[in-house]
Chain A
Amino acid sequence: MKITFLAFDGTPYTVDADEGMSAMEAAINEGIDGIEGDCGGNCNCATCHVFVDPGWQLQVGEVSPMEAALLADRSDLADNSRLACQIRLVPELDGLVLQMPESQFI
Chain B
Amino acid sequence: MCDAGVVIVGAGQAGATLATGLAQAGYDGPITLIGEEPYAPYQRPPLSKGFVNGDVGVDELLIKPEAYYAQKHIQLIKGRRVHAIQAHARSVQLDEGEQLNYRSLVLCTGSRPRVLPIKSAELNRVFSLRNIDDARAIAGALPEQGRLVIIGAGYVGLELAASCVTQGRHVTVLERAGRVMERSASPQVSEHYRAMHEAAGVNIVCDVNLVELQGGQQVTAVCAGDGRCWPADVVVIGVGAVANMELAQAAGLQCDDGILVDAQCRSSDPHIYAAGDCARQTHALLQTSLRLESVQNATAQARMIVAHIMNKAPLRSEVPWFWSDQFDTRLQIAGIVQPNHTSILRGDPASGSFTMLHVQGDRLQALEAINRPADFTLGRKLISEQLEVNIQWLKDEDIPLYLRD
Bound together: yes
In the complex, the answer to whether A42 meets B325 with C-beta atoms within 8 Å is: yes
Residues of A in contact with B, size category: 20 to 34
A20 within 8 A of B: no
In the complex, the answer to whether A31 meets B377 with C-beta atoms within 8 Å is: no
Question: 8 Å CB contacts to A: which residues of B249-306?
Answer: 295-296, 299, 303, 306
A106 within 8 A of B: yes
Chain A residues near B46 (CB-CB < 8 A): 40
In the complex, the answer to whether A69 meets B71 with C-beta atoms within 8 Å is: no
Shortest Cβ gap from A72 to chain B (Å): 6
Docked complex Cα distance between A68 and B295 (Å): 22
In the complex, the answer to whether B65 meets A28 with C-beta atoms within 8 Å is: yes
Docked complex Cα distance between A28 and B16 (Å): 13
B373 within 8 A of A: yes
Given known contacts A40-B46, A44-B323, A106 and B374 CB-to-CB distance under 8 angstroms: no
B176 within 8 A of A: no
Specify the main secondary structure of chain A where it touches its partner.
Answer: loop
Question: 8 Å CB contacts to A: which residues of B309-340?
Answer: 323, 325, 332
B393 within 8 A of A: no
Q: A71: nearest residue on chain B (CB-CB)?
A: B377
Partner of A73, one of B25, B61, B377: B377
Partner of A31, one of B43, B64, B373: B64
Given known contacts A44-B323, A106-B25, A39 and B295 CB-to-CB distance under 8 angstroms: yes
Question: 8 Å CB contacts to B: which residues of A30-47?
Answer: 30-31, 33, 36, 38-40, 42-45, 47
Chain A residues near B307 (CB-CB < 8 A): 106
A66 within 8 A of B: yes
Chain B residues near A93 (CB-CB < 8 A): none
Shortest Cβ gap from A89 to chain B (Å): 15
Chain B residues near A68 (CB-CB < 8 A): 374
Specify the main secondary structure of chain B where it touches its partner.
Answer: helix
Most buried by A among B61, B64, B65: B64
A61 within 8 A of B: no
In the complex, the answer to whether A33 meets B24 with C-beta atoms within 8 Å is: yes
In the complex, the answer to whether B64 meets A69 with C-beta atoms within 8 Å is: no
In the complex, the answer to whether B67 meets A38 with C-beta atoms within 8 Å is: no
B381 within 8 A of A: yes
Chain B residues near A105 (CB-CB < 8 A): 24
A65 within 8 A of B: yes
In the complex, the answer to whether B377 meets A69 with C-beta atoms within 8 Å is: yes
B21 within 8 A of A: yes
In the complex, the answer to whether A29 meets B65 with C-beta atoms within 8 Å is: yes
Shortest Cβ gap from A86 to chain B (Å): 12
Shortest Cβ gap from A21 to chain B (Å): 10
Chain A residues near B64 (CB-CB < 8 A): 28, 31
In the complex, the answer to whether A66 meets B373 with C-beta atoms within 8 Å is: yes
A70 within 8 A of B: yes
Partner of B373, one of A29, A65, A106: A65
Interface string of A56-83 (1 = CB under 8 A from B): 0000000001101110110000000000
In the complex, the answer to whether B68 meets A69 with C-beta atoms within 8 Å is: no
Chain B residues near A73 (CB-CB < 8 A): 377-378, 380-381
Shortest Cβ gap from B118 to chain A (Å): 33
Docked complex Cα distance between A36 and B373 (Å): 20
Chain B residues near A42 (CB-CB < 8 A): 45, 323, 325
Shortest Cβ gap from B355 to chain A (Å): 12
Shortest Cβ gap from A62 to chain B (Å): 15
B376 within 8 A of A: yes
In the complex, the answer to whether B71 meets A31 with C-beta atoms within 8 Å is: yes
Docked complex Cα distance between A36 and B72 (Å): 15
In the complex, the answer to whether B373 meets A69 with C-beta atoms within 8 Å is: yes
Docked complex Cα distance between A47 and B67 (Å): 22
Given known contacts A31-B71, A106-B306, A69 and B295 CB-to-CB distance under 8 angstroms: no
Question: 8 Å CB contacts to A: which residues of B160-204?
Answer: none
Docked complex Cα distance between A62 and B68 (Å): 32
In the complex, the answer to whether B376 meets A69 with C-beta atoms within 8 Å is: yes
Chain B residues near A30 (CB-CB < 8 A): 65
In the complex, the answer to whether A72 meets B377 with C-beta atoms within 8 Å is: yes
Shortest Cβ gap from B128 to chain A (Å): 21
Docked complex Cα distance between A68 and B68 (Å): 31
Chain B residues near A47 (CB-CB < 8 A): 299
In the complex, the answer to whether A31 meets B374 with C-beta atoms within 8 Å is: no
Chain A residues near B67 (CB-CB < 8 A): 31
In the complex, the answer to whether B24 meets A69 with C-beta atoms within 8 Å is: no
In the complex, the answer to whether A106 meets B65 with C-beta atoms within 8 Å is: no
In the complex, the answer to whether A40 meets B43 with C-beta atoms within 8 Å is: yes
Shortest Cβ gap from B309 to chain A (Å): 11
Docked complex Cα distance between A106 and B378 (Å): 25
What are the nearest 9 A-B pairs in CB distance? Answer: A31-B68, A69-B373, A69-B374, A66-B373, A73-B377, A106-B21, A69-B377, A40-B43, A106-B25
